[in-house]
Amino acid sequence: MTNRIEPGADTAWPPEGAVDGRCPYLIFRDVLGPEYVAGLLDHVLDRRADFQTGLMHNRETGELFADPVVRDALYLNDLGAFAAPIKAFVTAVAAPALEALRLIEPDVEPMEFIITAYGEGGHIADHIDTYRWTDRVRILSCVYYFASTPRRFSGGELRLYGFPKFSTVGGEPAAPSFVDIEPRTDTLIVFPSWLRHKVLPVHVPTGAWADSRFTVNCWIHRAAAGQDKAQAGHG
């Protein structure tokens, strides 16, 4: 059994009040507007043939492999002209998001912008987003939702697992908490990359590509040492 946490109120700018102590996350609504969403939907329709099967990473061996039981989704690394607006938004919210989530990071940068598509049965099992390598440290995970309106799929909630409450001495261990976040179009979710999460199965009655659950996933990294100095000479 798990204890369900009801999602907090929509996050205003700056983001405040949407952090649960056991399951920290932020919600930004109406992020980039209907024109951006429509253009991004046209982009994924035009680039349908370029989406690739999602691969898993073996933390022990470094091997990349496909396992549809664990990860059933398709990916596109090229956002084209739609990369700049979302990167600008994520860059703008990075510092207040870190503060709201009570994370101390002096220098971060958004990286790894990827479009993800979930068709019928699409899902991702429990995982965390952090790497083992110290030269690439993911601090925050960001998920931006865009889909046709009205939405023509069901399911696909993002489930975030929080920390359990302390149990009384000699009592049963407390059940872990979780929150399910609706994949609402033009919404950005931000949460710590070390927070365990999953994508619940998606149901697309029409089976049409245009009706899939689409997201832009990106990660806010700890900035590499010496990066500011390297960039300073390009003003």
The answer, yes or no, to whether the previous bond of 14 is cis (omega within 30 of 0) is: yes
Closest CA to 157 of 100, 201, 99, 220: 201
pLDDT in the model for residue 152 = 96
Indicate the range of 1-15, 17-31, 148-162 predicted with least confidence.
1-15
Whole-angstrom distance, CA of residue 35 vs CA of residue 150: 15
Tell me the average pLDDT across 65-88. 91
Tell me the average pLDDT across 14-33. 76
pLDDT in the model for residue 120 = 97
Higher local confidence (pLDDT), 179 or 37: 37
Q: Domains for the chain: give ranges and CATH numbers.
A: 18-225 (2.60.120.620)
Residue 10: helix, strand or coil by DSSP? coil
Confidence band for 69, pLDDT divided at 50, 70 and 90: confident
Run of H or E including 40: helix 34-46
Q: Per residue in 190-230, pLDDT tens?
A: 999 999 999 999 999 999 999 999 999 999 999 876 544 33
Read off the tokens for 197.
């999460």
User: What letter represents residue 228's amino acid?
Assistant: D
Number of other residues whose CB lies within 10 A of the CB of residue 192: 22
Q: Per residue in 87-124, pLDDT tens?
A: 999 999 999 899 989 899 989 999 899 999 999 999 99
Residue 168's alpha-carbon distances to 2, 97, 136, 214, in angstroms, are 17, 33, 39, 43
Sequence length of the chain is 235
Number of other residues whose CB lies within 10 A of the CB of residue 232: 8
Q: Which residues pair with 181 in a beta bridge?
A: 158
DSSP 175-196: PPEEEEE---TTEEEEEETTS-
Confidence band for 232, pLDDT divided at 50, 70 and 90: very low
Q: Indicate if the pLDDT at residue 53 is higher than 60.
A: yes
pLDDT in the model for residue 206 = 96
